[in-house]
Chain A
Amino acid sequence: MTMQSSLDIQARSATTTPSPSVRHSAAVAKLIDESKCIGCKACQVACMEWNELRGDIGSNVGVYDNPADLDANTWTLMRFAEVESAETPLQWLIRKDGCMHCAEPGCLKACPSPGAIVQYSNGIVDFKQENCIGCGNCITGCPFNIPRISKKDHKAYKCTLCSDRVSVGLEPACVKTCPTGAITFGSKEDMVHYAETRVGQLKERGFQKAALYDPSGVGGTHVMYVLKHGDQPELYSGLPKDPTVSPVVSLWKGAFKPLALLGIGFTALAGFFHYVKVGPNEVEEDEAVK
């Protein structure tokens, strides 16, 4: 859902002609510095508050994650991982999970409904629920397991990067509320620059493998992480090391469909020209008399 006036649409699902794109806005990014996060869940609360979402009350499954998973009402979620290895003592790694706003979004590629998913020129990937048909293809396209179909209305939901706030010059609600400054927002360029500073500081403090998470397999993302263990993103509740849109989805939505339509068209034409060339296979009814 968004109130952003839509004159800067860079990509639109199931659409083969250019979308309104006369306006251009600079690329934005949200940077989540995992090393500064204390797991207070204020970002989750801010997200619920700004978007006026209230999930069902769930049950405790023995971990801090609450609710247990993303859902149609939960667009961002703190994921808590207890990690212990031979080299390092027990660590509590906390990651704010949610849509990564990929530069090359798999959800948009997989979506069959025109305009149900759009990408603005500032990089925000937004679901337009009024155009959503509820098929769930976006889920297959996503390498981060983010979109959720509501049981109530069968529409897909996820983080909007507060596209409504951003369009009027505000920062996303989670950024606004974060008490430790672990979440920052600005131009993608500035955020990459700031992340590099932070990575340098972490390295000085002994985290030699600290790195910026801006995976190139999806063209980079407009939500990025600074990770203490940048060489092992999987430690953070399974953040994929090298996320890409599944080759199965790329084949299905890429080469296969035009080829299939061509094959069907060719068969129909072959029939037509066969009839023109060879003609009907007729029976001489006189034979029956003989």
Chain B
Amino acid sequence: MKYLQRYTEGERSLHWAVALLFILAALSGFAFFHPSLFWLVNFFGGGPWTRILHPFLGLGMVLLFAYLAMRFWEHNKLNPQDRAWLKQWRDVVNNREDRLPEVGKYNAGQKVLFWVLVASLATLLLTGIVFWRSVFPDFPVWLVRLASLLHALAATVLVIAIIVHSYAAFWVKGSSRAMLRGSVSEAWAKKHHPAWYRETNR
């Protein structure tokens, strides 16, 4: 069986560093999200430690993601075919890929996910700064209130996006290999990303 290189060592390491920081930032954030989840502070050494660590974990995630996003930016620009792909979402979720427009390195779903991640992480960073009280000076209280709500909203969107992202990797067999070992099978590439397959085999 032939394999094609999809991600470099550097890209994989970066992706998983972002992923680990996401898990830690999400767990520490969830602790403050709802009283029923406050027990999560125990993973971080109690309430004050969770409050201290959360912004650093989040900042680390955003900074590393920003570097990753710059490397993937070009591949994620949406084109007219992507719109057609999105309209046929029923074929997508029912494994009828043969009916879909030809896909390059990323399909439209992956591209939309990429931009959702960019938007939610940018929002989390900007709003998080507003109430990082031990580091930044006090902002007007109306801004802090708004930022708190938007921070929670962006976090919810991010968590839902990551659930979708993880599930897609599990659902489309042979995909997770790309991020774990760097390569995918030729058959996988032909089936899911035919345009990218032709390009890489040129």
A residues sitting closer than 8 Å to B (CB atoms) are 14-16, 112-114, 131, 133-137, 139-140, 145, 149, 154, 246, 248-249, 251-252, 256-258, 260-261, 263-264, 267-268, 271, 274-275, 278-288
Contact = CB atoms under 8 A, between A and B. Distances in A.
B51 A281 contact: no
B160 A263 contact: yes
Interface string B53-84: 00000000000000000000000000000000
A283 B185 contact: yes
B95 interface: yes
25 contacts: A15-B35, A16-B35, A112-B33, A112-B35, A133-B47, A133-B48, A134-B133, A139-B144, A154-B134, A258-B34, A263-B160, A264-B159, A264-B160, A271-B163, A275-B170, A278-B95, A282-B173, A283-B173, A283-B174, A283-B187, A286-B187, A287-B190, A287-B191, A288-B186, A288-B190
Contacts of A246: 142, 145
B7 interface: no
A14 B38 contact: yes
A59 to B, nearest CB: 19
Contacts, number: 126
B88 interface: no
B1 A261 contact: no
Interface of B: 1-2, 31-36, 38, 41, 47-48, 50-51, 93-95, 97, 131, 133-134, 141-142, 144-146, 148-149, 152-153, 156, 159-160, 163-164, 167, 170-174, 185-188, 190-192
Contacts of B144: 136, 139-140
B163 A268 contact: yes
